[in-house]
Amino acid sequence: MSDNINKVVVIYKSKYGSAQRYAQWIADEVKADLFERSKITLNDILKYDTIVYGGSLYAAGILGISLIKKNFDKLKDKKVIVFSVGASPAHPEAINDIKNNNFTEEMKGKVYFFHLRGGFNYNKLNSIDRVLMYLLKKKIEHKKPDELTEDEKGMLACYKHPVDWTNEKSIKPIVELIKSSTK
C-alpha cells in the first residue's frame, strides 16, 4: 500500500473488464491503492480517508456493492464515491433506478455516485448472461420498428458488432472530486 497523506483506495468488481479498466485509470490518476473486491477487507478499507468503489451493473445491481452497503455505518464519515459501469447511457431515470436498487436512503444523501458506460460483446458472455441477453433481444425485436428507442436500436446493433464505450475522459469528474478532498 502507498503512503498517501490523505489515503485513497479504489476497489472494483468487474464482470467483463470495463469496471476494472475504469478503476485502474482512476487509481493511476490520483495515485490511489487499487484492489479487486475479493482482495480487501473492511479493516483494510477503514484505513483510508476516501473510498472509491466501482462495480459492473448486473440486473440493475452494482456487483459487490454489499461491501459498502452493509458497512456504511462504519464508512459514512469518510468520502465515499461509487461508480457503476453498464452498457446503458446515464439517463436520469436510469440513474435513479440504480440508486434506488443499490443505496439506502442514508447512502443516497452521503455517497457520490457516477455511472460510466462499459461495453458489450455478446460472444464473450457466459452461458447464463448469453441466455438473458438473448431473451432481452427477442423482447426488443417484438416491438414495431417505430416503437424502438434509440437505446434499443443501439443495443440490437451491438449483438452483431461488439462495442466498447469505455472512455478515460469520463473519469474526470470522479478524479476532480477525489482531488478536491485531498488538497
| pLDDT digit string, tens, across residues 26-72 | 999 999 999 999 999 999 999 999 999 999 988 778 999 999 999 99
3-state class of 43 per DSSP?
Answer: helix
At 181 the pLDDT is 65
Query: Would you say 82 and 112 are in contact if contact means Cβ atoms under 8 Å apart?
Result: yes
152: pLDDT confidence band, cut at 50, 70 and 90? confident
Question: Is pLDDT at 5 greater than 60 in this prediction?
Answer: no
Residue 178's Cβ-side half-sphere holds a number of Cα atoms within 13 Å equal to 29
Angle at 119 between CA 118 and CA 120, to 5 degrees: 145
At 3 the pLDDT is 46
Contacts of 167 (CB under 8 A, 6+ apart): 117
At 4 the pLDDT is 43
At 161 the pLDDT is 81
Each residue of 100-126: pLDDT tens digit? 999 999 999 999 999 999 988 777 877
Domains in the chain (CATH in brackets) are 8-120+164-179 (3.40.50.360), 122-161 (no CATH)
CA distance 74 to 48: 12
Residue type, 161: H
Q: Which residues pair with 112 in a beta bridge?
A: 81
CA distance 97 to 51: 23
At 151 the pLDDT is 77
For residue 42 the three cell numbers come to 473492511
Query: Phi-psi region for residue 167, left (φ > 0), alpha (ψ -120 to 50) or beta?
Result: beta
